[in-house]
Chain A
Amino acid sequence: MHYVLHYGQITPYIPYLLGGVLISLALSILSFAGGMVLGLVFAILRNEGGAAASRFVRGYVAFFTNTPQLVQIYVIYFGLPDFGILFTPFMAVLIGMTLNAAGYLTEILRAGLASVHAQELDAAETLNMSRLQTLRHVILPHLFRVTMPALTNQYILMMLGTSMAAIFGVEELTGRAFNINSTTFRSIEVFTTVAAIYVVVTFLATILLALFSRWAFRARVPVI
């Protein structure tokens, strides 16, 4: 067996692969953003929403963090059509990743919320801040500041997790690698190139997120 590496055969596909990166980024950014909104609502409900709300959130988190993401997306993509609910592959993956992210982000954000000093909240109240103003000026900045390392981690995991979308035929980075592989049969070249692209993208994302959180929230995250 003698295999000669021919990366030259892959180079024409680089722009095509980079287009896939954009789809991977879109999937991960949208589902992360959606997961943050849901997670924040759930974290607040869990902490001060009464017994029923708290039980619902606990159930939600337990379900989504204890079942494989792939199975969750299968249910959405192949199961829901039985009930007349149809999604495009992209939408099914996006919804699945969002709901899944919400489970993990709820736990991260809840821990962050618990670390707000009670006296800071008392101070806000006696300074006549409304609950919404307290959330905006006191709680959220603190929350992002302390949870930023964990959030960054979660985002990177999600960015890498978008490769699952290939299974459903979404032509993101991994999906496009499948396509190239099936025409060139240059598996090693294709997948090592794609791996390198994932490394570069997550590396850049980590740096950007660290710089952003330092600037926006004074988070003490090392840049590299």
Chain B
Amino acid sequence: MAQLDIRGLVARYNDTTVLDGIDLAIDRGEIVSLIGPSGSGKSTLLRVISGLLRPVKGTVSLAGETIDYGDRRSLRRARNRLAIVFQQYNLFGNMNVLRNVMVTPVTIKKRDRREVEAEARTLLEKVGLGDKLNAYPDELSGGQQQRVAIARALCLKPEILLLDEVTSALDPERVGEVLDTIKLLAAEHMTLLIVSHEMAFVRDVSHRVAFMAEGTIQELGTPEQIFDAPRIARTRTFVSRILGHRTAA
């Protein structure tokens, strides 16, 4: 059974159909990346999965349990099982690093503070920020903030982690440290759904890559298929344009 199973998903903003029938199944421990031009609906897909936008059609299931987005308890349960990190401003500006990581487990989930703190410290150590526990987000670089956001997501012990262009707001020299953190998760067989424009990284880390355009998945395959032998012209154009830019840069 798939860890995350998306079927026939349709979503609209007002009258514009932004997701037009998405089918995607991700297995436990699998890493799937979404690539595609800006505006193709990648962020919207992650927003729908995490319940920030109600789908108008289709279903999302977590390990066989279909999420009822209209039901608060079902949504709450789903959100306990998945976590999402956005492009920027994930962190609460009024809380220091440690509190950002601990606030949900302690304040919302009412877990034991000492236990959570020990886990939070371990996680922050792991993402290389063991010395920044008392820093506030505006005292950190963008890359450090994103690593805290990832640590915060992990502290919830999600079954699946959604990452939406987590490096695209960063200075180029900061991208590597965040990608390294994600690779760490990949090595631990975390289930990941990643939206990224870092093609070398996508190719390196993903088990499968989905190419999206105009609200649908146009092509889904192994990184080798998508990058070296795409079946449709549109994928080929997109990939060559993006890779061309990277080599030129």
Contacts and interface: CB of A to CB of B under 8 A. Distances in A.
Taking residues whose C-beta sits less than 8 angstroms from the other chain, chain A's interface range is: 20 to 34
Contacts of A126: 50-52, 79, 83-84
Contacts of B89: 117-120, 123
B122 interface: no
A-side interface mostly: helix
A119 B88 contact: yes
A137 interface: yes
Interface in B53-100: 76, 79-80, 83-84, 86-95
Interface residues of B, number: 27
Contacts of B93: 117, 120, 142, 145
A126 B108 CA distance: 12
Contact of A138 (B51, B76, B94): B94
B86 A122 contact: yes
Contacts of B95: 137, 141
B94 A218 contact: yes
A217 interface: yes
Interface string B96-130: 00000001100111000000000000000000000
B86 A128 contact: no
Interface of A: 117-120, 122-129, 133, 137-138, 141-142, 145, 217-218
Nearest 7 Cβ contacts at the A-B interface: A141-B94, A117-B89, A119-B89, A127-B104, A126-B50, A119-B86, A128-B79
Interface of B: 47, 50-52, 76, 79-80, 83-84, 86-95, 103-104, 107-109, 136, 149, 156
